[in-house]
Amino acid sequence: MTDTLSGAETATEDPKPTARQRRARSIADQAGGGLASVIVKIAALAIVDAIAVYAALVLFGHEQWIVLAAVVLVAGIVNWVYFSRRALAAKYLAPGLIFLCLFQVFVLVYTGYVAFTNYGTGHNGSKEQAVAALMASALERVPDSASYPITVVESGGEIGLLVTTPDGEALLGTAEQPLAPVDAGFDGDKAVSAPGWTTLQFADVLERTDQITELAVPFSDDPNDGALRTPDGTSAYLYTSTLEYDEAAGTLTDLRSGTVYSDLGTGAFTAPDGTEILPGWQVTVGFDNFIRAVTDARLASPLVYVTIWTFAFALISVASTFFLGLFLAIAFNNARMRGRRTYRVLMILPYAVPSFLSALVWAGMMNQSFGFLNEVIFGGADIPWLTDPVLAKVSVLIVNLWLGFPYMFLVCTGALQAIPEELQEAATVDGAKPWAVFRLIKLPLLLVSVAPLLIASFAFNFNNFNIVYMLTNGGPRDSEAPIPVGHTDLLISMVYKVAFTGQTRDYGLASAYSIIIFIIVAVISVIAFRRTKSLEELNG
């Protein structure tokens, strides 16, 4: 009977945990932590929550509901993850996933959205903002309009007008907010202060005269009611627009000429003769940006030669850096060479310097008038390294070779050292020459290791914005191109110039170009990786 009970007790005992289970429990206990770690965790989450609350309030004020919901959701998930004892893996993954979504996923999604809109110069805001801006640009003072005593006030860098009406009521408004009643402080019959606003003194008004006289405060929510403007900072007068907006019909009428501008769905008011008045507003344009990118006569010519140069630059850069790095790796892989470590350290020095700094240094060295190359190396020659179209391309390739070969040198050195010496010895015994050993044995095995890195290097150089921007800024400028593009511009730098430079900025078109570039690189990478896989199978 006793033996039976003892056997039952033994059977019901928990099995002894394995070493892996004990380690997992130890990690979980460490993640849970003691009092000190709990305090640190609460303090860190308090900072995160404070930032989230501040961001939520700002987004709520700007009515950005989608982003607001995302901030609240992410903050809630972060708090749950770090207060839960079960979400151990998520504690380590959460920071990386958040930054991945913020800097990669969000950028991709937003770029895709912008590519299907007309976002750019003249189309930056909503239709309501465009109407307000158009009507404010055509303001004229109403003859014999009443004079409104005003006090100029400021809050957070924003200028406002504190107006006293003939009825003695205090109204306050800004360029963005129409006049609204406010609980003001009076000095006699004039409102002189408002809660949350700082009253500007006479000296401050004089200092900011230009900003104050250009200020137009909407009289009401209806833009047809006009706005108040002040010529001196003490009195304001009613101004009305020479444009009349009919919200129901979606038209804007010029009262002086009688021209009626209609909303045709293009993001701007358009006259019967096709003339558009700007600013307009953002609208969805479908695939128009993609079609314009490849069919617009102004863009077609520069797009063709920039695309050709981009492919040539990427291919030549990868080939030149790889073969130079491989050559040096083979040279320094000889065990009989003295000082190999010193030479290897010297070879990777260019890789240790930030690329944008190296590019700026090279730009100074290649200066046509005072550069080191012309003055010292070539004895005062006047070689236009960065201003001649052909030499500028050569200069970009030379500098990129200087920046890129140390990486390939490191990669090839590691790959060569991973190849068994027995293979080379066996081939030598069989009578193979050094070139045959390299071509038939070392190179195929080397390519298996470095081929994915060559593909990544091609993708990097295809979008190598830094070297072009810092060295030549895309120049020399192509005077015949209708857009600001130069002879050394890559597709990525051309996209940058379309989006952010010049008198007109077309973010929608630039985003469409970005997606096209992404597709090109993705297709090339997929094809190249498939070839790499076949190479692995061949050598397997």
| Segment 210-247, tens digit of pLDDT | 999 999 999 888 888 899 999 988 999 999 999 999 98
pLDDT category at 4 given cuts 50, 70, 90 is: very low
Across residues 132-147, what is the average pLDDT? 88
Q: How confident is the model at residue 27 (pLDDT cuts 50, 70, 90)?
A: low
CATH of domain 20-115: 1.20.58
What confidence tens digit (pLDDT) does each residue in 304-358 have?
899 999 999 999 999 999 999 999 999 998 878 888 889 899 999 888 899 989 9
The answer as to CATH 3.20.20.70 being correct for domain 127-277 is no
Which pLDDT score is estimated for 87?
82
The arithmetic mean of pLDDT across residues 515-529, rounded, is: 90
Banded pLDDT at 15 (limits 50, 70, 90)? low
- CB distance 464 to 317 below 8 Å: yes
Q: How does pLDDT run across 251-287, given as a tens digit for each residue?
A: 999 998 999 999 999 999 999 999 999 999 999 999 9
Q: What is the pLDDT of residue 18?
A: 75
More confident site: 300 or 218: 218
Q: How far is CA 136 from CA 120, 148, 149, 253, in A?
A: 21, 19, 21, 14
In this prediction, residue 19 carries a pLDDT of 67
CATH of 295-539, one of 1.10.3720.10, 1.10.10.10, 3.40.50.970, 3.40.50.300: 1.10.3720.10
For 385-412, letters b (16+ CB in 10 Å) and e give: bbbeeebbbebbbbbbbbbbbbbbbbbb
Residue of 502, 418, 382, 506 lying closest to 119 (CA atoms): 506
pLDDT of residue 2: 47
How many whole angstroms from its chain centre is CA 332?
41
As a whole number of angstroms, the distance between CA 323 and CA 401 comes to: 10
pLDDT over threshold 90, residue 288: yes
Q: Distance between CA atoms of 138 and 240, rounded to whole angstroms?
A: 8
Chain segment 468-499, per-residue pLDDT in tens: 999 999 989 888 887 788 999 999 999 998 88
Task: Reply yes or no on whether the pLDDT at 7 is more than 70.
Answer: no
Give every strand in the sheet of 269-270, ordered side by side. Answer: 243-246, 251-254, 260-263, 269-270, 276-277
Q: Are 186 and 163 in contact (CB under 8 A)?
A: no
Please give the Cα distance from 421 to 425 (Å, whole number): 6
Kindly state the average pLDDT of the residues 363-389: 93
The four Cα atoms 386, 392, 394, 398 give a dihedral, to 10 degrees, of 50
Q: Is the pLDDT assigned to residue 13 strictly greater than 80?
A: no
DSSP characters for 49-117?
HHHHHHHHHHHHHTT-HHHHHHHHHHHHHHHHHHH-SS-HHHHHHHHHHHHHIIIIIHHHHHHHHHHTB
| Percent of the chain's residues with pLDDT above 70 | 92
Taking every pair of C-alpha atoms in the chain, what is the biggest distance, in angstroms?
A: 116
What's residue 22's pLDDT?
64
Q: Taking Cα atoms as reference points, which of 470, 439, 450, 463 lies closest to residue 520? A: 463
Q: Mean pLDDT throughout 48-66?
A: 90
Direct distance between the N- and C-terminal alpha carbons of the chain, in angstroms, rounded to an integer: 65
pLDDT band for position 10 (50/70/90)? very low
Instruction: List the domain boundaries for the chain.
Output: 20-115, 127-277, 295-539
pTM score, whole prediction:
0.78
Q: Which residue's entry shows tokens 């190598």?
A: 464
| Pair of tokens at residue 537 | 């199978």
* pLDDT score for 481: 80
What is d(CA 480, CA 262) in angstroms, rounded to the nearest whole number? 36
pLDDT at 17 over 80: no
The pLDDT of 126-137, averaged and rounded, is 89
What span, in angstroms and rounded, lies between the C-alpha atoms of 66 and 68? 5
pLDDT tens, 93-110? 988 998 998 898 989 999
User: What's the pLDDT at 315?
Assistant: 96
Reading the block at residue 157, the tokens are 């860098």
Residue 454 pLDDT more than 70?
yes
pLDDT at 75: 92
Q: Which of 106-115, 192-201, 248-257, 502-511 has the least mean pLDDT?
A: 502-511
Q: What's the average model confidence in pLDDT over 439-466?
A: 91
- pLDDT given at position 536: 60
* pLDDT at 540 (0 to 100): 56
Q: Is the pLDDT of residue 71 over 70?
A: yes
What's the count of helices (H) and strands (E) in the chain, helices before strands?
22, 16
Give Cβ neighbours of residue 235 (< 8 Å, ≥ 6 apart).
147, 148, 149, 150
How does residue 539 score in pLDDT terms, banded at 50, 70 and 90?
Answer: low
219 contacts 236 by C-beta, under 8 angstroms:
no
pLDDT bin (cut points 50, 70, 90) of residue 8 is very low
